[in-house]
A and B are shown apart, each in its own frame.
Chain A
Amino acid sequence: MRSQPRTWLTILAAALLIGILTPASSAGAPAPPTDPWAASQVVQPAALAHALAAKAGAKPLVICVGFSVLYQGGHIAGARYAGPASSAAGRAALRRLVQPLPRGKAIVLYCGCCPWAMCPNIRPAFSLLKRLGFTNVKVLHMAQNFRTDWGARGYAMQHGAGSR
């Protein structure tokens, strides 16, 4: 009888250990993606909108690495279109777009197709530019999607095919 509390403690400890060690994916939830960027390489929509609207100062090159239907439905004013970086064609288009640029060029990548953790494009796009040697690349944090985090906030937008 005296050992009963210790038995319960052992069971509790084992359960906690299993809970900690079991990966989230095995519980049905997808494991969160690993971000290839540092926290300092993430820019918030308000900060980018402010930088783009400013009369003075060099503006970064903004590149959309999302899906064409969404880009055409509405995109950041002045943003160039590469294509979805989750596909080989999208990555090739991004590579072509940045090829002539100096490696220190300020670039902001964005997608906004899906909630941040689910976005299939932003991570491969950033990794590609990193591999190509670009040293001043940031990603635009779209917590929900382009409509909620950019369009609905009234930041400058354009519609249509824009420029590649």
Chain B
Amino acid sequence: MKRVRAALFALALTALAGAQIPVMPPPAPGPQIGQRAPAFTLAGLRGGHVALARFRGKVVLLDFWATWCEPCRQEIPKLIALQREFGGRGFTVLGVALDDGGAPVVRPVARRLGISYPIAIGTIPVAAAYGGMEGLPTAFLLGRDGRVRQIYYGVQRQAELRQAIRAALAR
């Protein structure tokens, strides 16, 4: 009986630890320029699912961010402007929010910031598939073929993003 109790206690501890900090798979180097972006299907902020494959044929700016990340929040108005400017021409921003609290935490912030592009709720494995996130924001510009054209670490100048999007759309 004591053994069973001990085993149950150990199991409960493991489950608790797992709930507190989901374990990231062994680190992958992440997609490099020219490589195909890892596929994912994540929960969407507005319900349903967001699959990267759904955007094949579009130029995608995949933006990993979090609500606690002040530079990320500062960059969002620029991304909204890019979505407005290029959204009708085969481009989309796709935000992947990496908050531990998920949609309940992200939703009010997205609403307050007026985010007009799709937002997916990120997971640790997806972050790992993209090389692990040592800092945010981290963004990947994907071409119409789903391959990585640019990787951006930190806040970018809007002019540079615009130029890169134009070039990707022209191909």
B51 within 8 A of A: no
| A67 engages B66 (CB within 8 Å) | yes
Q: Is B44 an interface residue (CB 8 A)?
A: no
Given A69-B124, A148-B154, A151-B134, are A86 and B27 neighbors across the interface (CB < 8 Å)?
A: no
A127 at the interface (CB under 8 A from B): no
DSSP class of B's interface residues: helix, strand, loop or mixed?
loop
A56-98 residues at the B interface, CB under 8 angstroms: 67-70, 72-74, 81, 83-84, 86, 93
- Name the one of A67, A146, A160 contacting B26, with C-beta atoms under 8 angstroms: A160
Residue in chain A with minimal CB distance to B30: A73
Tally of B interface residues using CB under 8 Å: 27
Q: Is B145 in the interface zone, CB < 8 Å from A? A: no
What is the minimal beta-carbon distance from B68 to any residue of chain A, in angstroms? 6
Query: Which DSSP category, helix, strand, loop or mixed, fits chain A's interface?
Result: loop
B window 8-35: CB within 8 A of A: 17, 20-24, 26-27
Provide the bound-state CA to CA distance between A76 and B160, in Å: 32
Task: Answer whether residue A115 sits at the interface, using C-beta atoms and an 8 A cutoff.
Answer: yes
Distance between B154 CB and nearest chain A CB, rounded to angstroms: 7
Q: Are A81 and B21 in contact (CB under 8 A)?
A: yes
Q: Is B141 an interface residue (CB 8 A)?
A: no
Does A159 belong to the interface (CB within 8 Å)?
yes
